[in-house]
Amino acid sequence: MQLTFYKYQGTGNDFVMIDNRQQFFDKKDTKRIAFLCDRRFGIGADGLILLENHATTDFKMVYYNADGNESSMCGNGGRCIIAFAKYLGIIKDSATFEAIDGFHEATIDHAIVSLKMQDVSIIENHNTHVFLDTGSPHHVQLEEELEQLDIKTKGYQIRYGAPYNEVGSNVNFVSKNTTTNFSVRTYERGVEDETLSCGTGVTAVALAMHFIGETEKNVITLQTQGGLLNVSFETVDKGYKNIWLIGPATLVFKGEI
């Protein structure tokens, strides 16, 4: 059967997007999802996202990593699905939707999407790194020589090492440019490689840098390999609320396979 798909990217984190409001897509076919994401034999993407009907919000988002498995929240995917929902005529300039980590609000202004993330109340500050969950689990560590790092090798060791083991964590390497600007490179679980950007990752980095005192600001710019993202937040007694991930989300092409 022919499958109509849409390819989106948000700061270079790219996704195969499928309108599954008619529920035709076989979600159990992990091999096919991995095939569609394969960059040599398939369409090529860091993940695949289904847009589905929802009883009380504008739509539901279902996210799969490039390995074919359903996973936790994808921040850049969440921004891209807003652009997709607008393209399909489901929403205008604002929306609410449900994802695996709960309900989200978002707005879109031309190609710039602002996505509200879940509140974060648990942040583990270890000596060498910070660990927190921004919808997906993230290990965050500061590095002096970010450009020289072998992200695939180092990220793989941390992702599969203790205490994360098989379940794993995404791994973010960070360098500080100014008090409001940090560079980030991310090894993504489920892609098992560096991606050009990770939305839940840069959100984790912004909160972690504030938490450990590297910044006192609450609007942070994150330079990823695929472009700039902004994260704003409010500090509360036990963590952070009103967290927004802001940046571009673009349709690359539409096709059939």
Ligand X SMILES: N[C@@H](CCC[C@H](N)C(=O)O)C(=O)O
- If one asks whether residue 71 binds ligand X (CB under 6 A), the answer comes out as yes
In the residue annotation, 37 being an active-site residue is answered as no
CB of 2 to ligand X, least distance (A): 28
Sign of the Cα pseudo-torsion (143, 71, 218, 247, in order): positive
Residue 33 token pair: 């999802």
d(CA 32, CA 18): 13
CB neighbour list of residue 133: distance below 8 Å, 6 or more residues apart: 120, 122
- If one asks whether residue 194 binds ligand X (CB under 6 A), the answer comes out as no
- If one asks whether residue 198 binds ligand X (CB under 6 A), the answer comes out as yes
The site string for ligand X over 81-120 (x = CB under 6 A, - otherwise) reads: ----------------------------------------
The site string for ligand X over 113-152 (x = CB under 6 A, - otherwise) reads: -----------------------x----------------
Q: Smaller CB distance to ligand X: residue 71 or 213?
A: 71
- If one asks whether residue 60 binds ligand X (CB under 6 A), the answer comes out as no
In the block, residue with structure tokens 């076989």: 26
d(CA 128, CA 158): 12
- If one asks whether residue 226 binds ligand X (CB under 6 A), the answer comes out as no
CB neighbour list of residue 3: distance below 8 Å, 6 or more residues apart: 18, 25, 36, 256, 257
199 in a known ligand binding site: yes
- If one asks whether residue 9 binds ligand X (CB under 6 A), the answer comes out as no
In the residue annotation, 198 being an active-site residue is answered as yes
Binding residues for ligand X, how many (CB under 6 A)?
18
Among 18, 36, 61, 72, binds ligand X (CB under 6 A): 72
Footprint of ligand X on residues 172-191 (CB under 6 A)?
188-190
Q: Smaller CB distance to ligand X: residue 134 or 215?
A: 134
Among 68, 155, 199, 226, binds ligand X (CB under 6 A): 199
Mark the binding-site residues for substrate, compressed into ranges. 13, 65, 75-76, 170, 188-189, 199-200
